Chains A and B, each alone.
Chain A
């Protein structure tokens, strides 16, 4: 393929030193690439280290072994080409929605007078044009996610890293947000690495679905291409035959890992 590689994890291993001196290996030899313009979803059971992998791509975590390349250059420090959408609330609570979005530009030295109208435009495109002066605590969970999305996208990052961004939202809001994300993504097709535990969400959104095994020392155990036509509507695509076939196929692999993951987490509790 001639399209350049946006993110390339090569044999990345992530390990943490535990309090008692032992080393806990979260992810073992992960090999993962995201091409430019490609939407890749990582799915795995809880505690499999999928967020860890995302943090490695973001430069928030350093791999113990292996390499991380961003547009074919080794990553040193934080990934400046990436925008990161967090699972938890990450907005600045002391800034209004408008200021929260504008800050991404202001950091770069864009004058405030120029940053504010652009922030307003982004708020409008995520459907919050009328909420510019609200503080985060005055917004609902879904609205806060919209602000966070605008905050990341206004900087026009080449890569989007998303850590179960819609995890805390209710089912309907998740679907609405998924459609919004697809609409925005369709405009300029950034490379996306999207972590989720929801297989349906992954298939509906992504071009490729990557499955991780249960942790610890989890590995990537599957990689499926999703050929559902774009643009997609998340509500519609779930009714598609191809969607169901793919879902059944991936789930047959994922199910075992989910069971293993549960077994391990319950064992861990008993051991304590």
Chain B
């Protein structure tokens, strides 16, 4: 399939869905509207809501806040995950002691922490950042831990035979290996940073995309809810695209799946 056909087909899916949605929410079928506007709104209303947000400029503030929370959650969670992951991987005894607690903390659905964070950190951005951090941290942590543990024995021996000191092994072998594992989970961890921010906002805040959706829902403004969801999706796709660019730059040395290895 050529790129153009593919793109055309992808657009076609969206067009068909929107047309059907518009049709069933405005034109009665057998005297009955299948998608009552109260529950489903309609594409035109949703679109005009989005246009209004951007035209008046209110959306920028919310986008900026959500973006900022996601970035903070990602950075703090990643730094923490890298440090602890490295520490545990190099100190098996520490890892063994903390193992059950790490598993326990990771098994906990993070949403239940949101009220506690709101209580501790207030309704500002930090309670959302904290929620995002708890999600990002574990992903990065597990990947870095794995990355350091799974350094090939041969590569390590080779480093030693080439005369590397412990510090140089760290710099030239452990560190790149751990980072490559972390980068390979970049999509997931960035995604979770956004999830943490939005869920946190949804559960209690004064700004952000989650707040916008929650407010619309509070007054049964279904068009607002859908508009918020669309803006959020576009936002996540944009971020994901950025991550792909970064990844391509950082993981050039990695064989792609089509090479038939790793």
Binding site for B on A (CB under 8 A): 58, 60, 78-80, 82-84, 86, 88-96, 103-104, 107-108, 135-137, 151-152, 155
Contact = CB atoms under 8 A, between A and B. Distances in A.
A107 B162 contact: yes
Contacts of A136: 253
Interface of B: 152, 154-155, 157-165, 168, 172-173, 176-177, 180, 252-255, 259, 261-262
Contact of B161 (A78, A88, A89): A78
B261 A137 contact: yes
A135 B254 CA distance: 8
A90 B172 contact: no
A86 B164 contact: no
B253 A95 contact: yes
Nearest to A78: B160
Most buried by A among B154, B162, B255: B162
A80 B163 contact: yes
Given A108-B163, A155-B163, A90 B158 contact: yes
A84 B161 contact: yes
A94 B159 CA distance: 13
Given A137-B254, A137-B259, A92 B163 contact: no
Contacts of A83: 161-162
Most buried by A among B158, B159, B160: B158
Contact of B157 (A60, A95, A155): A60
A88 B154 contact: yes
Given A84-B161, A107-B164, A92 B176 contact: yes
A215 B137 CA distance: 49
3 tightest CB-CB pairs across the interface, nearest first? A90-B158, A137-B255, A84-B161
Nearest to A154: B162
Contacts of B172: 92, 95, 103, 107
B253 A135 contact: yes
Nearest to B256: A137
A80 B172 CA distance: 19
Nearest to B169: A107
A60 B155 CA distance: 13
18 contacts: A84-B157, A84-B158, A86-B157, A89-B152, A89-B154, A92-B155, A92-B158, A92-B159, A92-B176, A93-B155, A94-B176, A104-B162, A107-B162, A107-B172, A135-B253, A137-B254, A151-B162, A152-B162
Nearest to B162: A104
A216 B155 CA distance: 27
A94 B178 CA distance: 11
A108 B160 CA distance: 12
Contacts of A90: 152, 154-155, 157-158
A60 B176 contact: no
Contacts of B152: 88-90
A92 B173 contact: yes
A135 B159 CA distance: 17
B161 A58 contact: yes
A136 B176 CA distance: 15
Contacts of A93: 155, 253-254
B102 to A, nearest CB: 27
A89 B262 CA distance: 13
Given A94-B253, A103-B172, A107-B164, 12 more contacts: A78-B160, A82-B161, A86-B157, A89-B154, A92-B158, A92-B173, A94-B176, A95-B172, A95-B253, A103-B162, A104-B162, A152-B162
Most buried by A among B161, B164, B176: B161
A135 B252 contact: yes
Contacts of A104: 162-163
B33 to A, nearest CB: 58
Contacts of B155: 90-93
A78 B155 CA distance: 16
Contacts of A86: 154, 157-158
A151 B159 CA distance: 11
A246 B180 CA distance: 50
Contacts of B163: 80, 104, 107-108, 155
A93 B168 CA distance: 16
B160 A60 contact: yes
A140 to B, nearest CB: 12
A79 B253 CA distance: 31
A93 to B, nearest CB: 6
A99 to B, nearest CB: 10
A146 to B, nearest CB: 15
Contacts of A103: 162, 172
A152 B162 CA distance: 7
Nearest to B173: A92
